[in-house]
Amino acid sequence: MIDAPSPPRSTGPGPATAAPPKVAAADASPSPSLAASGTPAADARPLSRRRKTQAERREEAEQRLLDAALQIVADKGSVRMTLAEVGEAAGYSRGLPAHHFGNKLGLLQALAGHIHQRFQRDLLAGPRGQEGLDAIRAMIGVYFGRTDENWTATRALLVMMTEAFMTDSGLSECMSSYNRMAVASLERDIRRGIELGQIQPDIDPPTYGVMILGALRGVMMQRLIETPHQRISRAQLLSVRDEMLRMIELALGRKA
Low-confidence ranges of the chain (pLDDT < 50): 1-42
| Overall pTM surpassing 0.85 (yes/no) | no
According to the model, what pLDDT value does residue 167 have? Answer: 75
For domain 112-252, give the CATH number. Answer: 1.10.357
**CA–CA separation, 31 and 3 (whole Å):** 12
According to the model, what pLDDT value does residue 240 have? Answer: 93
- Helices 104-124 and 152-163: angle between axes, nearest 10 degrees: 140
Residue 176: what residue type? Answer: S
Nearest Cα neighbor of 118 from 187, 67, 81, 76 is: 67
Over the range 210-229, which residues count as b (16 or more CB within 10 Å of their CB) and which as e? bebbeebbebbeebbeeeee
**CA–CA separation, 247 and 133 (whole Å):** 12
The CA distances from residue 83 to 39, 87, 109, 156, 158, in Å, are: 55, 6, 13, 16, 20
User: If you write DSSP's letter for every residue of 236-255 in order, what string do you get?
Assistant: HHHHHHHHHHHHHHHHHBPP
What are the residues whose beta carbons fall under 8 Å from the beta carbon of 210, sequence distance 6 or more? Answer: 183
Q: What does the domain layout of the chain look like in residue ranges?
A: 112-252
pLDDT in tens, 159-212: 999 999 987 778 999 999 999 999 999 999 999 999 999 999 999 999 999 999
What are the residues whose beta carbons fall under 8 Å from the beta carbon of 181, sequence distance 6 or more? Answer: 116
According to the model, what pLDDT value does residue 48 have? Answer: 61
According to the model, what pLDDT value does residue 45 have? Answer: 53
